[in-house]
């Protein structure tokens, strides 16, 4: 029996703002979406051509406040082929939240506070 990871879900407070962030920061594009018939939720899958893995952004109509992520002790990692250019872009965007120069990695945060690790291709 073999399992393959296909997506990770993040609930988001402002769907359009989150989609713009993921497109600008990581080059992800909308691949498909599902809207509830009653308008209670929208799910957008974002990804790129370099991987089948997707981020599932879920917006819930009845959520009236930003999500509480606790201590944010979880993250999704992205490997990038031009680490220096990615770092420069994220620095300009103001979304770098933590750097570990000893490990040669850094983290960015999305509009809802989710941490995303940026790792160089080694």
**Which residues are marked as active site?**
117
| Separation of alpha carbons 11 and 31, rounded Å | 17
Q: Say which DSSP state 7 is in.
A: E
17 neighbors 64 (Cβ within 8 angstroms): no
Place of tokens 């103001």: 94
Token pair recorded at residue 111: 């509009």
């Amino acid at each position: 029996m073999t399992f393959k990871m296909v997506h990770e879900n993040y609930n988001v407070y402002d769907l359009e703002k989150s989609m713009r962030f993921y497109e600008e920061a990581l080059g992800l594009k909308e691949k498909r979406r599902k809207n509830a018939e009653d308008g209670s939720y929208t799910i957008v899958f974002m990804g790129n051509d370099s991987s089948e893995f997707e981020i599932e952004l879920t917006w819930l109509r009845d959520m009236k406040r930003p999500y509480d992520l606790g201590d944010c002790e979880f993250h999704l990692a992205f490997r990038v082929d031009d680490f220096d250019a990615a770092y420069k872009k994220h620095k300009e965007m103001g979304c770098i939240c933590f750097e570990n120069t000893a490990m040669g990695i850094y983290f960015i945060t999305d509009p809802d506070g989710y941490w995303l690790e940026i790792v160089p291709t080694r």
